[in-house]
Amino acid sequence: MMFSPYIVTSEVGPEDEGTARYCLTSTVMLSLTTNSDSCGTFSLSGSIRRQMSMQLSMAEGHLCNMGKMIEELEGKLQNSLDQVYFGKTREMVCTLRPPAELATMKLPDS
């Protein structure tokens, strides 16, 4: 399994005195491939993009504010990956494979 580095873009614009409006766009790309005798060939890839906007005080500085936003958005992206890609993969495998085959097959570890 391969994750590309998070792609993060950020825009900062002044608002009221002492505050700024931050707009963060974050994208993560995923590629998962396997080729084994037990499960055959499997390939899954895709990307997830999320945006977040906040108006924050500039007292702690731009880097601190953007860092907090990046950490929060990273957690949301990881949850989305788990639910959307891995959850759907598990669902499809359980649907397509007979129960006898499913007992001996395992998805690759992350």
Amino acid letter for position 35: N
Reported pTM: 0.61
The pLDDT of residue 47: 80
Do 63 and 43 contact (CB within 8 A), yes or no?
no
DSSP 82: I
Boundaries of every domain in the chain: 2-104
The pLDDT of residue 79: 83
Mean pLDDT by 10 residues, the chain (110 residues): 60 83 86 78 80 90 89 85 76 71 58
CATH classification of 2-104 is 3.90.320.10, yes or no?
no
Query: Exposed, middle or buried: residue 54 (CB in 10 Å: 0-12, 13-18, 19+)?
Result: middle
How far is Cα 92 from Cα 96, in angstroms, rounded to an integer?
6
The pLDDT of residue 97: 67
The dihedral over CA atoms of 29, 48, 71, 1, expressed in degrees to the nearest 10, equals: -30
